[in-house]
């Protein structure tokens, strides 16, 4: 190439993927929606890891965030409301070679999908689950969701939501076999990217709750956190989320945290103020169910038929 030194001995990769290779349709989220930053972060991680687009699948349920698969140039599955996790687990069980990203919302995951949420964490299959939490049902025009702040006016509770919001973090820290739990914010792209990258590298289910702005229906929910970074608590430490010093200096409140300490992680989450961001818990020794469901994938058809007939013979009268 003109103007650049070239080395004819340099071996070029057989395929190199740019950001454009991971671009799908034009995103139709509202201007200022936090989903746009998450989309860019995932595309950048795919490029950094040079993941072949045909080896990546994005799965979603129903909601604004669930349009995610349409905007990524990979395989995608836009499923039913609350059902992205069983679909993703099914994909991973039969196609362990695929990298699986799950996009779900606070209603999609924590309400109608709550049963699947619990068991997906217990299965701990190797994938990344992103909870886009904007504290409202946005796609259906501002109904109360499980994470809506108490007193917030919505179309289903015009006088204010009656009940205290569900806390996804403390809930998950009490679920069986959870292996990776982190929280980040969409308005800090560097921390968002680093957190999702850490979840991707984790062997097991990497669950990331993303505090995500909805400028149309819940614009005020995270406004105080954006204006006053001291209301956020950045978790640090050698095993935590690593960011550049300039990014870390944006957060005046920091706390060194060992993500293997489940009890401390619970205490941090239960405090609520300041709001923690970073890696709360990680235990890579937890069993992954896909290590079991992958058995027999390479078995020849004849052997499968023989095994099936052997089982059926047990019921011969």
Round the average pLDDT of the chain to a whole number and report it: 93
pLDDT at 7: 55
The answer as to whether 5 is a domain residue is no
Other Cβ atoms closer than 10 A to 167? 16
Q: By CB neighbour count within 10 A (0-12 exposed, 13-18 middle, 19+ buried), where does 62 fall? A: buried
Other Cβ atoms closer than 10 A to 203? 14
The answer as to whether 242 is a domain residue is yes
Angle between helices 114-123 and 84-94 (to 10 degrees): 30
The answer as to whether 76 is a domain residue is yes
pLDDT at 12: 57
The answer as to whether 219 is a domain residue is yes
The answer as to whether 194 is a domain residue is yes
pLDDT at 15: 86
3-state secondary structure of 149: coil
Q: Among candidates 151, 242, 228, 227, which has minimal Cα distance to 196? A: 242
pLDDT at 1: 35
The answer as to whether 310 is a domain residue is no
Query: CATH number, domain at 45?
Result: 3.40.50.970
- Counting the structural domains of the chain, the total is 1
Residue ranges, the chain, pLDDT below 70: 1-13
pTM: 0.91
pLDDT at 4: 43
| 205: CB partners within 8 A, 6+ apart | 120, 121, 123, 124, 125, 126, 127, 128, 129, 178, 179, 180, 288
Tokens, residue 72: 């990524």
- Domain residues for the domain of 132 are 19-289
The answer as to whether 306 is a domain residue is no
pLDDT at 17: 95
Instruction: Give the separation between CA 33 and CA 27, rounded to whole angstroms.
Output: 10
pLDDT at 316: 86
pLDDT at 295: 83
Phi, psi of 144 (to 5 degrees): -65, 130
Sheet holding 99-105, edge to edge: 75-78, 56-60, 99-105, 127-133, 205-211, 180-185, 275-282, 232-236, 254-256
């Amino acid at each position: 190439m003109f103007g650049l030194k070239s080395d004819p001995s340099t071996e070029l990769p057989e395929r190199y993927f740019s950001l454009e290779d991971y671009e799908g349709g034009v995103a139709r989220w509202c201007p200022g929606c936090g989903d746009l930053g998450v989309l860019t972060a995932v595309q950048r991680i795919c490029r950094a890891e040079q993941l072949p687009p045909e080896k990546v699948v994005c799965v979603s349920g129903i909601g604004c965030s669930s349009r995610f698969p349409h905007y990524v140039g990979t395989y995608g599955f836009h499923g039913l409301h609350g059902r992205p996790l069983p679909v993703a687990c099914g994909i991973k069980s039969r196609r362990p070679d695929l990298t699986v990203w799950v996009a779900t919302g606070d209603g999609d995951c924590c309400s109608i999908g709550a049963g699947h949420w619990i068991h997906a964490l217990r299965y701990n299959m190797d994938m990344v689950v992103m909870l886009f939490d904007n504290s409202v049902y946005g796609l259906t025009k501002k109904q109360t969701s499980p994470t809506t702040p108490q007193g917030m006016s919505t179309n289903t509770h015009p006088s204010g939501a009656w009940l205290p919001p569900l806390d996804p973090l403390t809930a998950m820290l009490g679920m069986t076999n959870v292996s990776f739990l982190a929280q980040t914010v969409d308005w800090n792209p560097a921390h968002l990217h680093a957190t999702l990258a850490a979840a991707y590298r984790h062997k097991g289910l990497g669950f990331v709750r993303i505090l995500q702005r909805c400028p149309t229906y819940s614009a005020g929910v995270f406004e105080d956190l954006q204006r006053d970074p001291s209301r956020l608590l950045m978790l640090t430490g050698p095993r935590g989320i690593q960011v550049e010093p300039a990014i870390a200096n944006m957060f005046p409140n920091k706390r060194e945290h060992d993500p293997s300490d489940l009890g401390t992680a619970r205490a941090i989450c239960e405090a609520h103020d300041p709001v923690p961001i970073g890696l709360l818990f990680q235990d890579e020794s937890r069993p992954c169910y896909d290590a079991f469901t992958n058995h027999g994938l390479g078995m020849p058809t004849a052997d499968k038929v023989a095994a099936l007939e052997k089982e059926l013979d047990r019921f011969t009268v």
